[in-house]
Amino acid sequence: MKLEIGQIFIRDIQFDAVSRIENNILYVNTQELKALLLEDEHLASVDFEIAKPGEKTRIIPVKDVIEPRVKVEGGGGIFPGVLAKVEAVGSGRTNVLKGAAVVTTGRIVGFQEGIIDMSGPGADYTPFSKLNNLVLICETVDGLKQHAHEKVVRFAGLKTAAYLGRLAKELVADEVKTYETPSVKEGMLKYPDLPRVAYVLMLQSQGLLHDTYVYGVDMKQSLTTMLYPTELMDGAIISGNCVSACDKNTTYHHLNNPVVEDLFAKHGTELNFVGVIITNENVYLADKERSSDWTAKLVELLGVDGVVISQEGFGNPDTDLIMNCKKIEAKGVKTVIITDEYAGRDGASQSLADADASADAVVTGGNANMVIELPPMERIIGHKEAADVIAGGFDGSLKEDGSIVAELQVITGATNELGFNKLSAR
C-alpha cells in the first residue's frame, strides 16, 4: 500500500469572507463554518478564535487537536467510518495543511482536558504551541450528559478539520512525502537481510470518555487487529477521550504517529517495517488477557524480529503495557516500550503501576507529576477555572493573577507515549 502525503505549509490563519488557502495563508469564513457545525442540535453555540505561536495566549480546557487533511486520490475519505463512508484508506494521495490545527475547547466535559500555552514555559512542553490553531469554543445545550457532550465536541472538531482540509483538495503541495508498505511476502523477498519490525499501538479504551475509534468502531469492542501504517495518516484512528492531557493521543497524534514516521525513515535500509498491530486497553482483566494474548499471537504469526510498543494513559493501562511486553518477549521477539512516569512531585516514587523484568528496554516521556508554574496570559480562550479540576490541577492551582501552578499532566501532549516529544526523565 502506497500513500503520498502532499504538504501545504500554512503560515497563518485569518478570518475572511471566503474560506480558502492562498499564498500559504488559511482564510476562514466563520459564518459558513458555524452554520455547518450548528446543524448539530446539541450544540448551543460555537465561537472561533485563532491562536498563533508566540502569542500570550492560553487555551483551556483543550479536548482534542486535529490536523486538517483531504483525500485527493485513492479510496475512501478522511475519518472513514466517522465522517466519510467506510472504505479502506491509506493509498493514493492525501493533502495536509501542515502547520495548522483545529483545537476544541468549551465547558469541561470530564476532568481530563488540558492546557495549551502559545508562549512561555508551558509552550515548551506541548507540540501544539508551534502551530497556527483555529480554536473552536463549543458550548452544548443544557442537560446533556458527559457522553453526549463529548461526542458533540468530538464531531465539531472533526467536521471543522474536514471542512478546512477540503480547501486544499485542488492545491499543489509544497512538499510531497511517499510512504509504502509491501505485503508480508514482497517485503521478505525485497529485504531478506533486514530485521522485520512491527509496531504495537495500544489504544485507550477504558470506557466512555476514554475511547478511541477505528473506522468508526469503538476500540473497546474490537479484538486486536492490524492496519497498514498509512491508514493512520488518513484518519483511520480518532481520539474520543478525555484521558489526562499529557499522555492522551489526540487525533493529531494519530494522524502524525511518530513511531510510524520513524520506522518508515529506516524502512528498507535498517529494518523492514511490516505493519501496525492495534490493540485496546480495556478495564476488565479478561479483556486484558485476551487482547495481550492476541497481540502476542499476531506478532508470532507475522514472524517479526522486534516490535515497538506504545501506550496511552497510565495506571490501569500500565498492566496492558506490561502484559503485551511480557507475552511478546516470551515468544522470543525483542521489544522496546514507550511509556511515561508518575513518580510523584518529588520524582522519588515508583513510576509505573506494573513492572516485569522482561521490560528491559524502555523509553520514557518524562514524569507527569512534576510541578510547573505557568505565568498569566493576556488572552484566555475557553474557561480558565478548569485549572483547579483538570487532572494534574488541584484546589488553588489557578492563582489570583491568572498564573497556574499544577502538575505537568495538565499540558496537552506533554509526556506523550508515542514518543512525539523530546521530553524524558532519568
Partner 1 sequence: MAKIRVVHYINQFFAQIGGEEKADHKPEAREGFVGPGMAFNAAFGDKAEIVATVICGDSYFNENLETATKEVLSMISSYKPDLVIAGPAFNAGRYGMACGTVAAAVKEQLGIPAVTGMYIENPGADGFKTKVHIIATKNSAAGMKDAVAAMVPFALKLVSGEKIGSSAEEGYIPNGIRVNFFEEKRGSERAVDMLLKKLKGEPYVTEFPMPDFDRVPPNKAIKDITKAKIALVTSGGIVPKGNPDHIESSSASKYGKYDINGITDLTEATYETAHGGYDPVYANLDADRVLPVDVLREYETQGKIGSLHRYFYTTVGNGTSVANSKAYALAIGKELVADGVDAVILTST
Catalytic residues: 242
Binding mask 72-111 for partner 1 (x = CB under 8 A): --------------------------------------xx
Q: What are phi and psi of 249, to 5 degrees?
A: -95, 110
Q: Closest Cα partner for 8 from 28, 27, 24, 26?
A: 24
- Span 105-144, contacts to partner 1 by CB under 8 A: 110-112, 124
Of residues 167 and 321, the one with the C-beta less far from partner 1: 321
> Quick check: 53 binds partner 1 (CB under 8 A)?
no
Q: Output the CA–CA distances (angstroms, integers) from residue 127 to 132, 223, 256, 425, in the order listed.
A: 11, 31, 12, 18
CB of 421 to partner 1, least distance (A): 6
Distance CA 26, CA 136 (A): 16
Among 31, 45, 183, 349, binds partner 1 (CB under 8 A): 349
Of residues 166 and 177, the one with the C-beta less far from partner 1: 177
Peptide bond into 229 cis (omega under 30): no
The DSSP string of 378-407 is: SEEEE-GGGGGTSBTB-TT-B-TTS-EEEE
> Quick check: 41 binds partner 1 (CB under 8 A)?
no
Strand 12-15 to 92-98 pairing: unpaired
Among 339, 387, 398, 404, binds partner 1 (CB under 8 A): 339
Cβ neighbours around 3 below 10 Å, total: 23
Among 230, 239, 367, 412, binds partner 1 (CB under 8 A): 367
- Span 398-417, contacts to partner 1 by CB under 8 A: 407-409, 416-417
Q: Which three cell numbers stand for residue 59?
A: 487555551
> Quick check: 17 binds partner 1 (CB under 8 A)?
no
Of residues 170 and 356, the one with the C-beta less far from partner 1: 356
Q: Closest Cα partner for 66 from 276, 240, 247?
A: 240
> Quick check: 336 binds partner 1 (CB under 8 A)?
yes
Binding mask 282-321 for partner 1 (x = CB under 8 A): -x---------------------xxxx-x---xxx-----
Q: What are phi and psi of 390, to 5 degrees?
A: -70, 155
The site that binds partner 1 (CB under 8 A) totals a number of residues, namely 87
Distance CA 253, CA 241 (A): 13
Of residues 168 and 338, the one with the C-beta less far from partner 1: 338
Strand order in the sheet with 237-241: 217-218, 210-214, 237-241
Of residues 70 and 263, the one with the C-beta less far from partner 1: 263
> Quick check: 364 binds partner 1 (CB under 8 A)?
yes
Cβ 160 vs Cβ 102: under 8 Å:
yes
Distance CA 176, CA 297 (A): 36
Query: What SS3 class is residue 281?
Result: strand
β-strand partners of 156: none
For the chain, the C-alpha Rg in angstroms (whole number) is 21
CB of 193 to partner 1, least distance (A): 12
Q: Is the dihedral of CA 230, 231, 233, 237 positive or negative?
A: negative
- Span 237-256, contacts to partner 1 by CB under 8 A: 243-244
- Stretch of residues binding partner 1 (CB under 8 A), selected from 145-153, 162-170, 293-301, 375-383: 145-153
> Quick check: 350 binds partner 1 (CB under 8 A)?
yes
- Stretch of residues binding partner 1 (CB under 8 A), selected from 22-30, 176-184, 220-228, 383-391: 383-391
- Span 194-233, contacts to partner 1 by CB under 8 A: 195, 197, 206-210
CB of 336 to partner 1, least distance (A): 4
> Quick check: 423 binds partner 1 (CB under 8 A)?
yes
> Quick check: 165 binds partner 1 (CB under 8 A)?
no
CB of 378 to partner 1, least distance (A): 26
Largest CA distance in the chain: 65
